[in-house]
Each structure stands twice: as structure tokens, then as C-alpha cells.
């Protein structure tokens, strides 16, 4: 506790607020606030130091992605001792995917802390999910495996995931939307544009879904498939809302 108080005293009011918010989100106080600040810097807002070093959260995102996949795999392995590898892989993919991570980041309150210059609303990008993975990487670097595992299980899996329900759930949103269109005789069309990348930034794919020539969903991703899945997910949500309004 004394160490925590000393850390708070040294911080500026703005960083002290971030310190408290991170404690609320992660469930523990950061040892090194700088690594957590780095986890919140998207590549669109990257900082370049005088020596040429580039600061953004991509390396932490890489690490967090690996830790999340490993810890979710461990949980599934222990929970389902009698199922085959295919079932475990499919179930893990439903958790370790951008749609779920984006939604979870928003629920945790991470969106308001992210530094980004995206011209598209964060909710329509994968930036929140990427930042959540980077945060997981920061927790691992700052506190080790036990802290990382505790965060993933207590703040992500247990509050937001019903493993038994998820194991039997289909998350191929594009297929679901196309099937819905065929069943109800609606024309569903996907339109995808590629925004060329640069030396420092990978290309971005932006998709929209038109249902009977009306745009009902938009999505972004690092691949055509990912952007269409995100667009289809939003379209399904909008279709569901419209149906409720009509009933």
C-alpha cells in the first residue's frame, strides 16, 4: 500500500487519474504506468522519439494476443476434458476474435482511454479490441503470468462469457445474414473497399452491407473477410432492432 501511495504522489493529476482508472479496469494497481500508457497508443497516434524509436501498442498487442489465446486454451482444456481438438479450437476462436474483443473493451470502459486518430468511430473499428490485447500484454510485462491470467479470467471470461452457451453458438455473421436474406426474400449485398497501406501502416478494408439497397451495416478490418464479418454483425443488430420496432 505504501508503494502505491508513493507512486500516486509522484504522478501528475492527469496520470493519477489514469492510474486509478486502470486499477478499476484491471483490478490491480500498475507497477510501471508507462507500459500501460503505451498499450493505449494506437499506431495512428504513434509517437516518434528523437532517436527514431516508434512508440505504439503493436508489440504489446502481439504479446497480449498470444497470452489471451494460451490462457483461454488452458481454461477450455480444463473445462472440457473429453472433447477433441477441433471443438476446443472452434470454441476458442469464438472468444479470441475481434468482434468479442471490441465489445469487451467497450464494456470495460477502455474506449475512452485509447489514443487514436482513426477517422471512423472506434465502435466501427478493431482498435478497441487491439488495445485490449495490448493491455493484456502490458499486464503480463508488468505483473507476470499470474496477474495476466487473473485479469483474463476474472475480468473477461467469467463476467462476459458463458462457455457452455458459446460452445454451441454460431458466430459466422456473414453466413447468418445471407441465410436470413434468403429466408425472408431480401437482397443482401456486400461492398468492400481497400484503403492502401503505407510503409508503417498495413492496408485497411472497409465494408458495407446493403439490404434492399439500404446500407444497414459497416465494418472495418485488416482483411476483406474480417471487415465483412464486422459489417454483417452490425447489419444483423440493425435488422433485429427494426423487427422489434415493427412488432
Single out the residue of 88, 85, 39, 98 nearest to residue 63, CA to CA.
Answer: 39
- Within 8 A by CB and 6+ apart from 3, the residues are none
Residue 245 a catalytic site member: no
For residue 2, give every residue at least 6 positions away whose Cβ sits within 8 Å of its Cβ, in sequence order, or none: none
Determine contact, residues 168/183, Cβ cutoff 8 Å. Answer: no
Among the options 61, 75, 130, 133, which is catalytic?
133
Other C-beta atoms lying within 10 Å of the C-beta of residue 18: 18
| 200 in catalytic set | no
SS3 146: helix
Gap between the Cα atoms of 123 and 107, Å rounded: 12
| b/e burial code for range 209-243 (CB count within 10 A of at least 16 → b) | bbbeeeebbbbbbeeeebbbbbbbbbbbebbeeee
Give bridge partners of residue 77 from the DSSP assignment.
Answer: none
Exactly one of 37, 58, 61, 65 is catalytic; name it: 65
- What are the Cα distances from residue 20, in Å, to 14, 26, 115, 122? 10, 10, 18, 23
The C-alpha angle with vertex 91 and arms to 85 and 93, in degrees rounded to 5, equals: 100
Residues annotated as catalytic (active site), given as ranges: 65, 133
Amino acid at each position: 500500500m505504501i508503494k502505491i501511495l508513493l507512486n500516486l504522489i509522484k504522478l501528475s493529476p492527469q496520470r493519477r487519474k489514469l492510474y486509478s482508472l486502470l486499477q478499476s479496469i484491471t483490478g490491480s494497481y500498475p507497477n510501471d504506468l508507462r507500459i500501460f500508457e503505451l498499450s493505449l497508443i494506437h499506431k495512428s497516434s504513434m509517437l516518434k522519439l528523437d532517436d527514431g524509436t516508434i512508440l505504439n501498442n503493436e508489440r504489446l498487442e502481439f504479446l497480449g494476443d498470444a497470452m489471451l489465446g494460451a490462457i483461454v486454451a488452458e481454461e477450455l482444456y480444463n473445462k472440457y476434458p473429453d472433447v477433441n481438438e477441433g471443438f476446443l479450437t472452434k470454441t476458442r476462436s469464438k472468444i479470441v476474435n475481434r468482434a468479442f474483443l471490441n465489445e469487451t473493451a467497450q464494456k470495460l470502459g477502455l474506449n475512452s482511454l485509447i489514443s487514436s486518430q482513426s477517422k471512423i468511430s472506434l465502435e466501427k473499428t478493431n482498435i478497441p479490441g487491439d488495445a485490449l490485447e495490448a493491455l493484456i500484454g502490458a499486464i503480463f510485462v508488468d505483473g507476470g503470468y499470474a496477474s495476466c491470467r487473473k485479469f483474463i479470467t476474472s475480468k473477461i471470461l467469467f463476467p462476459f462469457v458463458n462457455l457452455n452457451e458459446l460452445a454451441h453458438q454460431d458466430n459466422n455473421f456473414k453466413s447468418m445474414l445471407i441465410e436470413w436474406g434468403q429466408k425472408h426474400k431480401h437482397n443482401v449485398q456486400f461492398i468492400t473497399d481497400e484503403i492502401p497501406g503505407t510503409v508503417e501502416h498495413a492496408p485497411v478494408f472497409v465494408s458495407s452491407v446493403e439490404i434492399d439497397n439500404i446500407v444497414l451495416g459497416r465494418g472495418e478490418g485488416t482483411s476483406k473477410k474480417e471487415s465483412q464479418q464486422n459489417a454483417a454483425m452490425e447489419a444483423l443488430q440493425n435488422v433485429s432492432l427494426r423487427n422489434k420496432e415493427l412488432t
